[in-house]
Amino acid sequence: MGGMHSISRRAFIVGATAVAGGVAFGTYGDAAQASAAADANPLQAGLGPNSVSFNPWVEISPEKITLIAQHADIGQGVGSVQPIMIAEEMDLDPGQFEIRFAGPSPVYFNTGFADELAPFVAADQSPAAEQARAVALESLRKSGLQMTGGSSTIPDTYEKLRVAGAVARETLKAAAAKRSGVAVADLRTRSGHVILPDGTKVPYVELSAEAAKIPPVLDAKPRDPSQWRILGKPMTRLDVRSKVMGELQFGIDLKMDGMLFASVKLNPNKGQPLKSYDARKARSMPGVRKILKVKNGVAVIATNSWYAMQAVAAIDCKWAPSTYPAEQAGHWKILEASFKPEFLGKQWRNIGDVEAGLKSGTFVEAEYRAPYVGHQPLEPLNGVAVVSDGGMEIWVGHQSPQAVQSIAAAAIGIKPEQVTFHNQWTGGSFGHRLEFANIGVLAEIANQMRGTPIKLVFSREEDFRQDIPRQISLARHKGSFEKGKILAANLQSASTPPFKELLGRMGAPSKDPDGQLAACLWNVYYDIPNYRATSYEAQGLSPCTTWRSVGASSAGFFTESFIDELIHAAGRDPIQARIEMCSVPTYRKVIETVAEMSNWKGPLGNGRGRGVAFVESFGTPVAEVVEVTVTDSGIRIDKVWVAVDVGKIIDPVNFENQVQGGVVWGLGHAMNCELTYAGGAVQQTNFNHHEAMRMYQCPVIEVRGLENDPKVRGVGEPPVPPAAPALANAIFAATGKRIREMPFNKFIDFV
């Protein structure tokens, strides 16, 4: 077990900073201090003798080279691509370095959120938009917020990690030049060595002590992509082999000397405390060591996770009731009544004369619904922690290291800097590991078991009950068309606000409208002369949070279904009309590409149908065509074509895997999943109730990546939002039936 060392982090201060016109967001620590700390290298404190660190991402000792992954690996492959971006510039080969996840530090603040936080749509590259993004970036720097999410890893790290590698390479060359007396210009680097003109190879690790004594070469420039050896070409993810061999250790696999196992039963009325409990039966069950009360439930400490789970299930608990409606119907009722001025989030866009446009054209209106959905990565919530007099050490996979410190610390009355956090490889997240259901309670348990390492593992049922779901959302869209063209659109949604609620739980509440509820409502790039987009934020409902693709996961379905309805009513071809209406040339190219890939030639007939959808989310435009066949046993999804523009494809194989996975995620949940409340608790508690997609429903998915966007974009989430509307539009094309509510299996059977 690693030693408890104090880290130079300040407390997570409650507060919010307004950024460039109304985006709010938490501040970590005093702004000026954070800004200064953002330049410090946290690796310096932990360096051994004769070791060197040029920046927060590279550490070289006489024994080994360690590259730091600042973004959490949640299966999206960033535990591989981050170090590879550094290795590309350092001329290191896979196998010549170790990977370590970053500890909490403001130096790892996420620059990649700047575009999403600035109040301009992604395609707007105007000076005003770029200036707002620069302001947002400075605010992020001041905040020091280190967070993985929003498909931002590549946008955040593409420049800075290649620069970090270039600085390391040039500094190692400078050290070799000093030692050998050869001019730097005559030195080369290859495979972890500096190579002298006479062919002598000096391993980087031999230069660590000397490199530590010279100033780092800070003006080193990353290479032009045309010179890349690894990036941009098919490469093997560094974690593939160890995952296939079953050797990679996930957080849930950790073992420590003297460790005991815990499992919990927490109030399924989310956010409410335990009233009383009766643990008589559990006490005498096998393997049970201790029964503990925690703030919102009970925990059993046992000699094996299974004993702990069995015993905790046998505890009879009385819970404080929910503050949201106990029954699901009450949730929809509140949502239906939320289209009122007092619940206004924001009118995000208003151009032309919407009322006049709606009156003069042929009128179309429709209502759409998206339910609560669970994240449920396959690795259940877990964590290992030990509390001693000096503080707490915690090993857990999480996307917000600083928030883990502050929430764990608050749970047991210590300071955030007394919490030492070790990030872990995780078995998926999809937004689940941005939340804290396992963090505070693990701290409470470990604090009651001081000195003993505790591994907490949630049962799947408990994980479902404590999963803060995706927002519930309802849209009332109105529009009109005239002479085959869309004349007006008035898009309105009422929803629970996912990002705002996440910030609230992180201790940084925001009063500003949730920008995630503008996604796919205002960033719609069709040439519609009269257009209005308005979000309403429902109150008094279940807590909600970010779920892979966040606001766009529901609003993408609403908007692209409604656009399809308008296009159909206007008598136009859905893909041709979208191409004609699309006002951004690079985005139009994405739709044209998917039309070409699918060889789109209008209706298929004979019980077959195709649907298309186009959504930009997190700056990445994605177009998808779904093809379905009506069979005796239901709708079969035959094939999906996807075109995506990310500006630059860094890791082409993983890119394809991410896109395919995003489509599976989008389709599977749209078809088969919802979480509903009864008696204040979710009714779906295992995968048989919330199945998403299994192999037998999975279509062939053909992917093409484009590189026309002026910026480098992420791809973890953007393939999700178009999947549901493309499927619904395909079902309409095949059957004439419009499905306006997820999950679709409530209205139609699938194979």
Partner 1 sequence: MIELTVNGIKNKVDVDPAMPLLWALRDELGLTSPKFGCGVAQCGACTVHIDGRAVRSCQAHVGEVAGKSVVTMEGLPNRDAHPVLLAWIEHQVPQCGYCQTGQIMQAISLLELIPKPSDEEINEVMSGNLCRCGTYPRIRAAIHAAAAKMAEK
The closest alpha carbon to 547, from 382, 717, 332, belongs to: 717
| CA angle, 308 then 313 then 317, to 5° | 120
Q: What are phi and psi of 164, to 5 degrees?
A: -60, -40
In the complex, minimum distance from the CB of residue 261 to partner 1, in angstroms, rounded to a whole number:
6
Using CB under 8 A as the binding rule, whether residue 256 contacts partner 1 is answered as no
Distance CA 360, CA 482 (A): 8
Which of 292-309 are b and which e, b meaning 16 or more Cβ less than 10 Å from the residue's Cβ? bebebbbbbbbeebebbb
Answer whether the bond into residue 498 is a cis peptide, omega within 30°.
Answer: no
Residues 358-377 that bind partner 1 (CB under 8 A): 376-377
Using CB under 8 A as the binding rule, whether residue 200 contacts partner 1 is answered as no
The closest alpha carbon to 191, from 177, 176, 182, 204, belongs to: 204
Distance CA 618, CA 404 (A): 25
Distance CA 313, CA 459 (A): 10
In the complex, minimum distance from the CB of residue 297 to partner 1, in angstroms, rounded to a whole number:
19
Judged by CB under 8 A, which stretch of 249-257, 348-356, 627-635, 724-732 contacts partner 1?
A: 249-257
Written as six digits, the tokens of 229 are: 């050896």
Judged by CB under 8 A, which stretch of 346-354, 446-454, 687-695, 706-714 contacts partner 1?
A: 687-695
**Based on CB atoms, which residue is closest to partner 1, 534 or 546?**
546
Using CB under 8 A as the binding rule, whether residue 633 contacts partner 1 is answered as no
The distance from CA 541 to its chain's CA centroid, rounded to whole angstroms, is 23
Written as six digits, the tokens of 19 are: 């950024």
**Based on CB atoms, which residue is closest to partner 1, 173 or 375?**
375
Using CB under 8 A as the binding rule, whether residue 692 contacts partner 1 is answered as yes
Sign, Cα dihedral of 226, 227, 233, 238 = negative
**Based on CB atoms, which residue is closest to partner 1, 373 or 489?**
373
């009355």: which residue's tokens?
A: 413
Judged by CB under 8 A, which stretch of 290-298, 453-461, 491-499, 506-514 contacts partner 1?
A: 453-461
Using CB under 8 A as the binding rule, whether residue 240 contacts partner 1 is answered as yes
Longest dimension (CA), the chain: 82
Using CB under 8 A as the binding rule, whether residue 399 contacts partner 1 is answered as no
Using CB under 8 A as the binding rule, whether residue 660 contacts partner 1 is answered as yes
Query: For partner 1, which residue of 661, 680, 705, 722 counts as binding (CB under 8 A)?
Result: 661
Query: For partner 1, which residue of 29, 150, 216, 427 counts as binding (CB under 8 A)?
Result: 427
In the complex, minimum distance from the CB of residue 235 to partner 1, in angstroms, rounded to a whole number:
9
Sign, Cα dihedral of 352, 358, 362, 366 = positive
Residue 655 near residue 649 (C-beta atoms within 8 A): yes
The closest alpha carbon to 308, from 437, 459, 461, belongs to: 459
Residue 624 near residue 642 (C-beta atoms within 8 A): yes
Distance CA 325, CA 372 (A): 14
Using CB under 8 A as the binding rule, whether residue 255 contacts partner 1 is answered as yes
In the complex, minimum distance from the CB of residue 246 to partner 1, in angstroms, rounded to a whole number:
3
DSSP state of 599: T
In the complex, minimum distance from the CB of residue 560 to partner 1, in angstroms, rounded to a whole number:
20
In the complex, minimum distance from the CB of residue 404 to partner 1, in angstroms, rounded to a whole number:
19
Query: For partner 1, which residue of 75, 119, 383, 543 counts as binding (CB under 8 A)?
Result: 75
In the complex, minimum distance from the CB of residue 192 to partner 1, in angstroms, rounded to a whole number:
23
Site for partner 1 (CB under 8 A): how many residues? 64
Query: For partner 1, which residue of 663, 670, 726, 728 counts as binding (CB under 8 A)?
Result: 663
Using CB under 8 A as the binding rule, whether residue 245 contacts partner 1 is answered as yes
Query: For partner 1, which residue of 459, 496, 561, 598 counts as binding (CB under 8 A)?
Result: 459
Which residue type is seen at 577? A
Using CB under 8 A as the binding rule, whether residue 179 contacts partner 1 is answered as no
Q: What are phi and psi of 726, to 5 degrees?
A: -65, -40
**Based on CB atoms, which residue is closest to partner 1, 279 or 663?**
663
Query: For partner 1, which residue of 120, 430, 562, 587 counts as binding (CB under 8 A)?
Result: 430
Using CB under 8 A as the binding rule, whether residue 185 contacts partner 1 is answered as no
Using CB under 8 A as the binding rule, whether residue 306 contacts partner 1 is answered as yes
Residues in CB range of 43: below 8 A, 6 or more apart: 53, 56, 59, 68
Residue 457 near residue 385 (C-beta atoms within 8 A): no
CA distances from 151 to 74, 99, 112, 234, 658 (A): 12, 21, 8, 21, 11
In the complex, minimum distance from the CB of residue 134 to partner 1, in angstroms, rounded to a whole number:
34
Using CB under 8 A as the binding rule, whether residue 261 contacts partner 1 is answered as yes
Using CB under 8 A as the binding rule, whether residue 253 contacts partner 1 is answered as yes
Using CB under 8 A as the binding rule, whether residue 683 contacts partner 1 is answered as no
Using CB under 8 A as the binding rule, whether residue 469 contacts partner 1 is answered as no
Using CB under 8 A as the binding rule, whether residue 673 contacts partner 1 is answered as no
3-state secondary structure of 382: strand
In the complex, minimum distance from the CB of residue 116 to partner 1, in angstroms, rounded to a whole number:
23
Query: For partner 1, which residue of 515, 668, 722, 725 counts as binding (CB under 8 A)?
Result: 668
**Based on CB atoms, which residue is closest to partner 1, 179 or 237?**
237
Using CB under 8 A as the binding rule, whether residue 136 contacts partner 1 is answered as no
Distance CA 42, CA 603 (A): 60
Residues 700-739 that bind partner 1 (CB under 8 A): 700-701
Using CB under 8 A as the binding rule, whether residue 664 contacts partner 1 is answered as yes
Residues 265-304: x where in contact with partner 1 by CB under 8 A, - otherwise, as a string = ---------------------xx---------------xx
Residue 20 near residue 132 (C-beta atoms within 8 A): yes
The closest alpha carbon to 556, from 742, 344, 699, belongs to: 742
Residue 522 near residue 349 (C-beta atoms within 8 A): yes
**Based on CB atoms, which residue is closest to partner 1, 286 or 602?**
286
Q: What are phi and psi of 686, to 5 degrees?
A: -155, 175
Chain residues that interact with partner 1, rule: CB under 8 A:
74-77, 236-237, 239-241, 243-250, 252-253, 255, 261, 286-287, 303-307, 309, 376-380, 426-428, 430, 457, 459-461, 653-654, 657-658, 660-665, 668, 686-688, 692-696, 698, 700-701
